[in-house]
Amino acid sequence: MRHLLPVCACLMAISVSAHGALAQVSKRIFDVQLGSPVSKLPSDQWVDPSCGTNGGPPSIRLDSFAEFAKCRTERDTGLHEVWFIYDDEWEYIARAYRDPGEIGRYSANTFYSQPIITSLLIDDGGLVQGYRVVTDPRAPDDVRLLAHTLTDVFKAQFGVGDWQCVDLPQLEQEKPVDGTFVKRDCVSVSADRYVKVQGRLLRKPGQGNFDVAPEGYFESSALLEVNSTDAVKPVPCCQATAFQ
C-alpha cells in the first residue's frame, strides 16, 4: 500500500488545483442581483438552506430556496430570511489532506479570513430583495477580535459612496477592549439599494466588571445588510453627520 500513497497525494493535489480554477468563478452573495427570482440562485453552490434568525444560526431546514415561505417575515423588513452556506466540500477534502495552505484557499464560509453567516432576504413573490452577512461569533477569540475591521471591507464592496455614519455613545457598563471602543453604524442609499454596515468592539454589560476580564468576554462583530429600495424603505442613520 505504501507505493500508492504518493499517487494518492498527487491525485489529490491535481484535483484540488483543478477545482481552484472553478472556485475563482463561484458565485458569492455580493453577486446576487436584487429583484431576481429564487429559481436563478446557484443552488449547486449555495447549499443547506434554512430559515434565518436575523443573522444568527439556522432554524427550520428547507429542501430548497423555493420553500422560503416557510420562514416567517421579519418585522423590520417584511421579508423572509433564508440562511445558507457556500458548498464547502473542497474545504473538507483539504482538511482531510491536512494542508494548511489548501485549507485557507478553500475555506468557503469565510470573508477576509473571518468566518461569516450569510442569508438572503426574499419577498412574498419569491424575489431576492436583499441579503445579510454577519461575522460568526463562534470564531476563535484571536480571529473574532478582528471581526469589527470587516466594516471597511464591506463598505469598499460598494465604493466610497456617500456614507452616513455615527459613533454611538458608550452606555453604562459597556467597556473598551484593550483601550479600543467601536460602536459605529453606517448607511449608504442609492437609487436602487439601501446598504447598512455596523461594527462593534466592546465589552457588553456583565463582560467587563472584572479586574482581568475572562478570555473571550467581548463582542467584536461586523454586519452588512443590503436591501432593494423598492422593497424596504431606507431608515436614516441616527441623524448622523456624514463621514467615511
Is position 155 within any domain?
yes
Distances (CA, A) of 39 to 44, 66, 70, 97, 163: 12, 7, 16, 35, 33
Is position 3 within any domain?
no
d(Cα 221, Cα 199) in Å, to the nearest integer? 6
d(Cα 236, Cα 104) in Å, to the nearest integer? 38
**149: part of which helix (H) or strand (E)?**
none
Mean per-residue pLDDT for 178-186? Answer: 95
Q: Of 61, 231, 52, 244, whose CA–CA distance to 134 is shortest?
A: 52
Distances (CA, A) of 57 to 29, 135, 145, 203: 17, 11, 20, 22
Which cell goes with 16? 484540488
d(Cα 88, Cα 27) in Å, to the nearest integer? 13
Alpha helices, H only, 24-116: 89-97, 100-105
Q: What is the pLDDT of residues 134-145, one digit of tens each?
A: 999 999 999 999
Note whether 203 and 183 are within 8 A (CB): no
Do 127 and 142 fall within a single domain? no
**pLDDT band at residue 9 under the 50/70/90 scheme:** very low
d(Cα 105, Cα 73) in Å, to the nearest integer? 36
Note whether 145 and 220 are within 8 A (CB): yes
Do 116 and 69 fall within a single domain? yes
Range of the domain at 218: 137-244
Do 165 and 242 fall within a single domain? yes
For CA atoms 120, 121, 124, 125, give the dihedral sign: negative
Confidence at residue 8, expressed as pLDDT on a 0 to 100 scale: 41
Is position 154 within any domain?
yes
Confidence at residue 128, expressed as pLDDT on a 0 to 100 scale: 98
Alpha helices, H only, the chain: 4-23, 89-97, 100-105, 141-144, 150-156
Q: What is the pLDDT of residues 199-217, one digit of tens each?
A: 999 998 766 655 555 567 8
Domain count, the chain: 2
Confidence at residue 27, expressed as pLDDT on a 0 to 100 scale: 84
pTM of the model: 0.81
Note whether 29 and 131 are within 8 A (CB): yes
Of 77, 109, 133, which one is at a domain's C-terminal end? 133
Of 105, 133, 161, which one is at a domain's C-terminal end? 133
Task: List all residues 6 or more positions away from 138 whose beta carbon is below 8 Å from its beta carbon.
Answer: 115
The segment with the largest mean pLDDT, out of 84-88, 141-145, 239-243, is 141-145
